[in-house]
Structure formats: C-alpha cells, structure tokens
Amino acid sequence: MTHPRALSRRQFLKTSGVIVVGFAMPQAVLGSHPDAAVAASAPNGAVDTTQLDSWLTIAGDGSVTVLTDKVELGMGVSTAFAQIVAEELDVPFRTVSVVMGDTARTPDQGGVGGSTSISIGARPVRQAAAEARRVLLDLASARLGAPAGQLSVHDGIVRRADDPSKTVSYGELIGGRRFHVTLAASGGSYTLGVAGSARPKSPDQYTIVGTSVPRIDIPDKATGRFAYVVDVRVPGMVHGRVIRPPVPGAKLLRAEGPHGVPGLIKVVT
C-alpha cells in the first residue's frame, strides 16, 4: 500500500474514531461539467462559503453545476436541489447537475441529518442562484443595451422586452468564468446562510419547483450504473477501521497498532 495524501476532510468528521482514512471521489463519479470553474478557497484551504463561485458554476454551453455538501440518501434531494436552482435561474431542469458531499469542493453545510437538506440546506443554494441571476441580468444589460428591468429570461436566454430579437445566453455571458461576487454569510456549518442583494422568487412565480420531474438518481440505480461509496477505487486508496471501546464509558489510555498486520500504515487518535 502507498501512504495516503495529507488530508483534513474537515478533520474527518470532527475526529470520530481511533483509526481513520478518507478518499477523494474521481471526476467521473462526481459528474460535474468539465467547463465548470473550481470552487473558491478560503485562506485556510477550505471552500469559501462567502463566494458565489463556491455554490454554482455555469459552463460555456449554459449548463449549471450546483455544489452542496448534502448527499442523496434516496429521498430525491439531488432532484429537488436541481429544481430549486433551475427555478431561480430560469434555466431548463435538464441542464442542472448537482455535485454533492465532496468535502474538497463543496461548501461546509454541516452534513446531513433529520431530513433537513431541503428545509435548511437548500436555503443558501437558493439564495446563491437568485444572486447569480441578478449578476447575469446586469451583464446582459450591458451587452444588450437595456436596463435589467426591461429584460426577460427563459431557458437561460436573456431577451430585451422591446426587441425580442436581441438575445444573449448565460453561457455567452459567463460560461466557464468566475462570478467574483461575495455573499453575506450568517450562522455556520449546519445553520449556514448566505445572501446577496437579490431576492429569490415568490412561490406564486414557480414553474419548476412543485412540479413532477424525473428523479436524477433513479436511472443509474435501476440499471446498476450508480457509483456507491463501496464502488469507488482511486490510486493509492487505503481503508480505515474505527476501533470502539468494549464497554460504555471507557477512557482511551493509549493507542497502539496491531503489530505484524500487513499493510498497516498508521494509528490515528
């Protein structure tokens, strides 16, 4: 075995055991668009949650990649997140893909628990998408020579209300480039919130959220193509085991590696 690369993995879930190890998902498993920009980093190396680019990117073909630390546990969360972003950006649902749970690339939202991914975890994603739409309309205003209030958006195409022949796509406006927009952050981790100057849509304006759309995760699961954690293999990959005390209330005095075990790399406490 090879020694694993140095990793924090958010201090491996706040140091939950004695022997630990992690891995990085390959790009093919994550399914992100190759034109998508890389999430912005904070000085400490973590993903900077105050940067709009850390939440979503738009490729040259207009496709949108959403980044969230929430994961798909079979409840259709990935589909719901794609609907929310498609709604706020006014893009087709089919053009939105979701990168979930990659601790090297996604904002730290405190993980998943208690079916709160939509009620709490989707809020900053919705706010980020609304702010992205505002920025894109400002860019389109300069490009089309009309105030943002006189522009409309449908399927990622911005049009002048007084001259529908004058259009520009999201991909043309920013495809593959960064927004470079800072969001105001509140709370942290599980209760993290972000906001820009834009206000999300009112529910009475919804045309995508609340409708029935095909689940993103079902086709690959039904055909056996879905990549579960146990399916992932990366170069230099190693495995870890959590060693728990034999009785409740036990106190760890010392940690020693089992001598003579082939492939043992390190004992971590």
pLDDT tens for each residue of 170-189? 999 999 999 999 999 999 88
Would residue 42 count as lying in a domain?
yes
Q: Is residue 155 part of a domain?
A: yes
pLDDT at 10: 53
Average pLDDT, the chain: 86
With cut-offs at 50, 70 and 90, classify the pLDDT of residue 199: very high
3-class state of residue 98 by DSSP: strand
The CATH code of the domain that includes 126 is: 3.30.365.10
User: Does residue 38 or residue 96 have the better pLDDT?
Assistant: 96
Range among 31-40, 76-85, 256-265 rated most confident: 76-85
Does the pLDDT of residue 5 top 60, yes or no?
Answer: no
Average pLDDT, integer, range 96-102: 95
Predicted local distance difference test score (pLDDT) of residue 226:
86
Band of the pLDDT at 35, cuts 50, 70, 90? very low
3-state helix, strand, coil in the chain (%, to 5): 30, 15, 55
Helices (H) and strands (E) in the chain, counts: 6, 8
Question: Which tokens hold the place of 132?
Answer: 């992205």
Looking at the domain assignment, is residue 84 inside a domain? yes
240 within domain boundaries? no
Band (pLDDT 50/70/90 cuts) for residue 38 is: low
> pLDDT tens, 226-245?
888 788 889 999 888 888 88
Show the domain range for 177: 31-210
Within a domain: residue 95? yes
How far is residue 80's CA from residue 66's CA, in Å, rounded to a whole number? 12
Tokens of 64: 């949108």
Number of domains in the chain: 1
In a domain, 245, yes or no: no
Residue 193's H or E segment, with its range, is strand 193-195
For range 40-55, the mean pLDDT? 84
**Residue 246 lies inside a defined structural domain of this protein:** no
The answer to the question of residue 111 being in a domain is: yes
Give the highest mean pLDDT range of 10-19, 25-34, 143-152: 143-152
